[in-house]
Amino acid sequence: MQNIDVVILCGGKGTRLKSVIADRPKPMAEINGRPFLDILVEYASSFGLSRFILCTGYLGDAIEDYYTKHNNNLTFAFSREHQSLGTGGALKNAEPLIQSNPFLVMNGDSFCPAPLDELVVAHRRNKALVTLAVAEVDNAGDYGSISLDDRGKILSLGKGR
């Protein structure tokens, strides 16, 4: 797992949290005195992952400054969006920095404790183009929905609100 890049999408504006964290991007919201993004990085690094590509945008200097100073012997590269590119655009923008195949992609504003090592093993075993970790929630309206067949292949993707 050490040679797999982790791309973390952290370029959003965080408009729903602006009243609480107007001075920083959403992934830098403090949880118990440290940025939420630290929790994601720490979780991924617990699987031996050590190279992170942070796709920054809105107030991206805050993320870049912090991880330039607080790298904890991990490697950080930054892919800056100068305008909002969306998920696909952010990944395309980061493409020159991605050194591994496969690579992992995580959202910088949510935490889903998936077994990353097992995800990579399944991805390789199935020779998949893309492998997703999904979570079951009570109300998918806020998030969107995914319908799977009995083998775990995606049948449809539904939009959230």
Distance CA 28, CA 15 (A): 14
Q: From first to last of the 161 residues of the chain, give the pLDDT tens digit.
A: 779 999 999 986 655 555 556 667 889 988 899 999 999 999 999 999 999 999 998 888 999 999 999 888 999 999 999 888 888 889 999 999 999 999 999 999 889 899 999 999 999 999 999 998 888 888 877 778 888 899 888 898 887 65
- Of residues 14, 35, 36, the one with CA closest to residue 26: 14
Classify 5-129 by CATH class. Answer: alpha beta
Residues forming CATH 3.90.550.10 domain(s) in the chain: 5-129
pTM, to two decimals? 0.89
